[in-house]
Amino acid sequence: MKPLRKLDYPVDQARRFLEPGPIVLVSTAAHGQRNLMTLGWHMVMGFSPSLLATYIWNENHSFALARDSRQCVINVPGVELLDTVVDIGNCSGREVDKFARFGLDAVPAHDVAAPLVGQCHSSFECRLHDDSQVQADNLFIWEIVRAHVAPRPKLPRTFHYRGDGRFMVSGQEISRRRRFKPDML
Amino acid sequence: MKPLRKLDYPVDQARRFLEPGPIVLVSTAAHGQRNLMTLGWHMVMGFSPSLLATYIWNENHSFALARDSRQCVINVPGVELLDTVVDIGNCSGREVDKFARFGLDAVPAHDVAAPLVGQCHSSFECRLHDDSQVQADNLFIWEIVRAHVAPRPKLPRTFHYRGDGRFMVSGQEISRRRRFKPDML
């Protein structure tokens, strides 16, 4: 699959792609290695700065790469990458370079050493904003410092994990803008 | 709308309903008041104990109720409640009892004082597991101590916030069980 052309996107709007809760690929680089992990445990925590929390288990190979580099890229794949993303989650970066194994393009980022995943619909460059809960709780609070989003499709068909090997694929979009108070939008 | 009959459900399986990232209603009770808030910022953090993190802004009326009672119920609504859930998010419990205003049944919980929302598909009774980041980061880490899930429909059509008044409604389910290593399920 060819890499998607992505454009700069406002970092305070990253929620449009992350807040619905899709499975993401986290890319990291440190100690002369790079890695990719499949992650479902993340949460928006603010817009300005644009904050995202992730839970990365300390047994995962990516944990030390994220902790030591204090950087990562959060990539949102579309459903056409489902099998690849499942397979990425079922092998370890200790044994394999996942970009090479799965034929994914490691596209240089702008502000961090970790690469973007070319085939993903959007990619968010992150720096560690708060490391106080990393060791105790495996909780990283990141600031999104640069956002890259493919203009087509406008909304990717994301997939969301239910456990037990089952995924929900994103469906239709519904607007309720008219019901919102302006300051709640 | 009538309340849904819910059955006991294993707490370590709460992820099936929460991990995909739906909008939830958080019910709280303290100081002789009860309240409901619309929340999209949550994240699974473990199975056993069954942990869920929520970001509850300290300007929200529910913040003090959650902090002081150290309890809440996380309720997952189906899309038939979309307008109600939007309206709940656009008014304050300082001014109105939201259960009465929106015709929702406050069903007594088993282990906590906060009520279940009868019309929601699933409800998870929570006790505060870790309060260390509540004041500094608005981050509550809850343990789900009891789960209630409606047997029909088997999977609710949940809705997921994109910001700007727009929601993604959950689509089809896809299984990739066969691609998982047994210990990754």
Q: What is the pTM of this model?
A: 0.97
Residues of A in contact with B179 (CB under 8 A): 83, 86-87, 90, 165
Residue B87 contacts residue A179 (beta carbons within 8 Å): yes
A44 touches chain B (CB under 8 A): yes
CB contact (8 A) between residue B43 and residue A22: no
- Nearest-Cα distance to chain A for B55, in Å, is 7
Q: Which of B89, B164, B171 sits opposite A171 (nearest CB)?
A: B171
- Establish whether the linkage from the previous residue to A182 is cis, with ω within 30° of 0: no
- CB-nearest to B90 from A55, A158, A181 is A181
Q: Do A174 and B169 touch (CB under 8 A)?
A: yes
CB < 8 Å to B174, chain A: 79, 82, 159, 166-167, 169
- Report how far apart, in Å, the C-alpha atoms of B57 and of each of A125, A146, B134, B136, B154 are: 25, 25, 10, 11, 32
A135 exposure class (CB count in 10 Å sphere: 0-12, 13-18, 19+): exposed
So what's the ipTM on this one?
0.96
pLDDT digits (tens, 9 = 90+) for B146-179: 999 999 999 999 999 999 999 999 999 999 999 9
Digit-coded pLDDT (tens) for A53-107 = 999 999 999 999 999 999 999 999 999 999 999 999 999 999 999 999 999 999 9
pLDDT per residue as tens digits for the range A138-176: 999 999 999 999 999 999 999 999 999 999 999 999 999
Residue A185: pLDDT band (50, 70, 90) is confident
Q: Of the candidates B42, B52, B40, B41, which has an alpha carbon nearest to the alpha carbon of residue B14? A: B52
